[in-house]
Amino acid sequence: MKIKTFTFNDLGVNSYLLISELNNCILIDPSCYYPEEKEELKRFIADNGLTLKRVLNTHLHFDHALGNRFVEETYGIGAECSAPEKFLLDRMEMQAEMFGYSSVEMPQQSVLTLKDGDEITVDEITLKVLMIPGHSTGGLAFYAPKNGCLFAGDIIFCGSIGRTDLWGGDHNALISGIQNKLMSLPENTVIFCGHGPKTNVGQEKRSNPYLA
């Protein structure tokens, strides 16, 4: 599996393209907002002869879903997330307005089907779905055990955790989920975060002040 990272929109969301040996791919958190960002994603997929197979949202805070509509219209694929996030989809425009975004293209065909324990497979890539509420009501992380990596959205960051004062936030649930589901993974598991640099499980166990 190859991983291509894009950092999109004013809030610096990391979008991840997971590329299989057969050039099929999975897109995690379509967050492209500006025309040049959408063109960058589209051009990379085309120039590398990739076929987009699945689109996944770790959660539906607006900044992680700004590109959902573009991806739907360009590739005919709706993004998948967890059912508890549905209320955020209905409040996408309100969320965006609170952060100064006056124009947001609403997703049309999001597929709200993923649940804890599901497996997503594209060629040799297998992702295990881990539901960890707290930053949002039904936040998901995607664990690739064969590749030793985790795509955590805003659940955990390098030296920090996701904020819990937004829609669906619950600090205790977030800490519990991180401790029970993420910190039990092998320490060399690389964590690809929704914002900022990547980290790993061992580093967060030793130095994340929120997990002490």
Pick the closest to residue 4 from 57, 56, 58, 44 (CA basis). Answer: 44
pLDDT tens-place string over residues 40-80: 999 999 999 999 999 999 999 989 999 999 999 999 999 99
Q: Give the count of beta carbons closer than 10 Å to the beta carbon of residue 62.
A: 26
The pLDDT > 90 percentage for the chain reads: 83
- Chain position carrying tokens 């291509």: 4
* Residue 190 contacts residue 148 (beta carbons within 8 Å): yes
The predicted pLDDT at position 94 comes to 77
User: Total structural domains in the chain?
Assistant: 1
The predicted pLDDT at position 98 comes to 76
The predicted pLDDT at position 95 comes to 78
Pick the closest to residue 193 from 81, 62, 34, 59 (CA basis). Answer: 59
Q: What is the mean pLDDT of each run of 10 residues along the chain (212 residues)?
A: 97 98 98 96 98 96 92 94 85 76 67 90 98 96 98 98 89 98 98 98 97 90
Can you give the residue range of the structural domain that contains 33? 2-211
DSSP-H helix ranges across the chain? 35-47, 68-75, 86-90, 92-98, 171-177, 201-207
Output the 3-class SS for 160-199.
EECCCCCCCCCHHHHHHHHHHHHCCCCCCCEEEECECCCE
Which CATH number fits the domain that encloses residue 166? 3.60.15.10
Q: Give the count of beta carbons closer than 10 Å to the beta carbon of residue 93.
A: 15
- 67 class by beta-carbon count within 10 Å (0-12 exposed, 13-18 middle, 19+ buried): buried
CA distances from 36 to 8, 52, 106 (A): 10, 19, 19
Give pTM, 2 decimals.
0.95
Q: Which two tokens stand for residue 85?
A: 């996030």
